[in-house]
Each structure stands twice: as C-alpha cells, then as structure tokens.
Amino acid sequence: MRSIQVKTIVEAVKELCMQANYDLPVDIFNALQSGKEKEISPVGQAILEDICQNAQLATTERMPICQDTGTAVVFVKIGQEVYIEGGLLKDAINEGVRQGYKEGYLRKSIVENPLYRKNTGDNTPAIIHYEIVEGDQLEIMVCPKGGGSENMSRIYMLKPSQGIEGVKAAVMETVELAGPNACLPMVVGIGIGGNFEMSTLLAKKALTREVGTHNRDERMRELEEELFEMINRTGIGPQGLGGKITAIAVNIEDYPCHIASMPLAINIGCHVNRHKSIKL
C-alpha cells in the first residue's frame, strides 16, 4: 500500500488547471500547423495562422489560450494499492481547481444551480470521473471544457438496424448543426455502445486521445478515417468561414451494449481541446 498526501494532490491539480489553460497540447498544435499547410482557403489559412500564434503567445505570456477556461473535467485513475491520506480525494481535487483558477487568473464559469445561475466564484465543483486500476499510482488528467463546443454535442439512441449508416448520418448532422459555434477546426469525440450514460463518457474520453492515433479495432479505425474525410468535405472550414480543415481528428471509443440498443454520443471539442495529466 502506498500513501499519497492530499496536499500533493491539491498542488498537482492546481498546476494542471493552469498548464492546461496556458499550453496547447503538442499533438493539437502540430495538427493545426499541418492543417494550415493543407488549407486551400486564404481566409482559412489566415485563421489557422492566428490560432497558432495565439497558442504560442499563451504559452510565452502564461495567459489562457481562450477566455472560456471551461468546466474542470477531471479523469482519475486510482491504483488499488493507493491510500489517500489527509482527507477525501474529491475534496482535494476541488481545492486544487479552486486554487488553480484563482492563482492562474482563469475565468470562473460554474453556477451552483442550472436554473438559478448564481456563480460559485471559484469554478468548482469539478466533474470527476474515477477508475480503479492496478498498481500504486494515481493518474490525474484535467480537461477544461468550454461551453461553446460542449453545447454543440449530442446523444442519439439509435436502433441497431440503423447500423453504420445511421452512425454516419448522426455524426454529420451534429457537425453541420454545430457549424461555426464549436470554434473550428474541431476534434470529434464519438462514443458508441454501453448505455445512455456510458456512451457520453466514452465520447468525452475520446477527446483526450492523441491526434493521429486510432481505435484498435480496424473496423472502427476505418470508420474514423471515413468520417474525418466526410467532415472535411463539408466546406465549413476554420471558424466556419469556409475551407478544407473543419476537423483535425475524429476519435471513436466503443463498448459492448444491449441487443436492443445502439447508443451514440458525439462530444465536440473546439480547436484548443485542452488536457494535461500527471502521475503521482
């Protein structure tokens, strides 16, 4: 059994909140740079150039990449031989978010009730997903998720008979309805299977996968590639102003499901698609 102090977790989460909002993931930056070279629209090229310059300035000046510093979504993998000492893991994560958003001058965007809309003032509570794994390490990934792209996400409870063509139609409908509102070019996270809530979690996890990697199932890989091509043929382009680069990645995660169901969730990630992780 290995002990990890709460104060260590608080400090780690605080730093991750700031790093995720200041430093664009390398794979995302490289994909945007590559997209700039492939874009045929002069306006699209200029937008991608501005996006890349903005990311570089954010890192240099230690300022947020985007003014919407998001909901703090946190994925936690807890080794079954880990003992959290000094308090609750949930409280430690929320305290880290509280400190990170305050010290990093990050916008506080969370309201305590969805109907009555009073701001909590510190961007808590975080949305935390836990997974128990083997070993004696604690892995924490902080994924600040902006409201604009999140609002463009959708879930479908498809009939199994709708099959692959039904999935393609739903994904394309979601992308086209999102249009410029998802702050393009986008990363498209897709969750297929499980049940209602599992499919949405799969879609969210799909956004954290490195750009350029693919589903292990060759059939799913082919579907990722086909959807990627279909989305980039829409002509929506960077920031919805026309062009070739509408998406920089399409990532699918899947899970077994009931014989009567085919849940499908599409979680749209904007061009920053922030996430940072640490192992303790």
Q: Phi and psi of 274, rounded to 5°?
A: -75, 140
Final residue of a structural domain among 119, 145, 171: 145
pLDDT tens-digit map of 196-253: 999 999 999 999 999 999 999 999 999 999 999 999 999 999 999 999 999 999 999 9
The residue with tokens 């902006």 is 146
**AA identity, residue 79:** G
Tokens of 173: 């409908």
Regarding whether 266 and 207 lie in a shared domain, the answer is yes
Do residue 158 and residue 198 come from a single domain?
A: yes
In angstroms, rounded to a whole number, what is the distance separating the alpha carbons of residues 168 and 265? 12
Could you give the number of structural domains in the chain? Answer: 2
Determine, yes or no, domain membership for 109: yes
Which among 91, 125, 145 is the end of a domain? 145
Same domain, residue pair 15 and 122: yes
* Same domain, residue pair 171 and 100: no
Q: Which amino acid is at 38?
A: K
| Total number of residues shown for the chain | 280
> Do both 166 and 263 map to the same domain?
yes
CA dihedral over 55, 211, 244, 235, signed as positive or negative: negative
Residue 52 lies in a domain: no
Question: Residue 134 domain-assigned?
Answer: yes
Task: Judge whether 27 lies within some domain.
Answer: no
Residues 222 and 91 placed together within one structural domain of the fold: no
Give yes or no: residues 15 and 137 share one domain: yes
For residues 152 and 109, state if they share a domain.
no
- Determine what percent of the chain is predicted with pLDDT higher than 70: 100
User: Global pTM?
Assistant: 0.94
Q: Same structural domain for residues 267 and 159?
A: yes
Does 260 have pLDDT greater than 90? yes
Structural domain boundaries, residue 168: 148-273
Residues 153 and 168 in one domain: yes
Same structural domain, 156 and 138: no
Mean pLDDT (the chain, rounded)? 96
Residue 44 covered by a domain: no
Q: Which helix (H) or strand (E) holds 74?
A: strand 71-79
Residue ending a domain, choose from 97, 119, 145: 145
- Residue range 49-90, pLDDT digits in tens: 999 999 999 999 999 999 999 999 999 999 999 999 999 999
The whole-number pLDDT of residue 1 equals 87
253 and 156 within one domain: yes
**pLDDT single digits (tens) 153-211:** 999 999 999 999 999 999 999 999 999 999 999 999 999 999 999 999 999 999 999 99
